[in-house]
Amino acid sequence: MIRHIVIIYFRKDAYADYLSLMEKTKPLINSIPGIISYKIFQNTSKYVPKDINSIGVEIIFKDKDALDLFMTNPKHYEANALFERYMAEPPYMV
């Protein structure tokens, strides 16, 4: 199994309910083969800047081939398009 975690930063002034927005990505992501689980959670770390809402995403894949398929799958890009315009600069916490 491969665990893929992304922490996304959103501008607080751009949208009110990021968790609900991210929930809309679930049907798209879950339609990609090789995904065991897809979870979305509020990032409550004390290191998140005050003007940012932060969401964590955890995807578990059955193997590296499934992760590689996901990274190039059109459904992945379609899911990202639902929320990209609300992302902060920088958009990700590394």
pLDDT tens for 12-63 read: 888 778 999 999 999 999 999 999 999 999 999 999 888 899 999 999 999 9
Token pair for 20:
């609900």
How far apart (Å, rounded) are the C-alpha atoms in residues 22 and 81? Answer: 11
Residues 63 and 33: beta-carbon distance below 8 Å: no
Q: Stretch 61-86: mean pLDDT, rounded? A: 96
pLDDT of the residue at 91: 81
> What's residue 93's pLDDT?
67
Q: What CA–CA distances, in Å, run from 72 to 32, 43, 56? A: 11, 26, 21
- Do the beta carbons of residue 72 and residue 61 sit within 8 Å? no
What pLDDT is stored for residue 39 in this prediction?
97
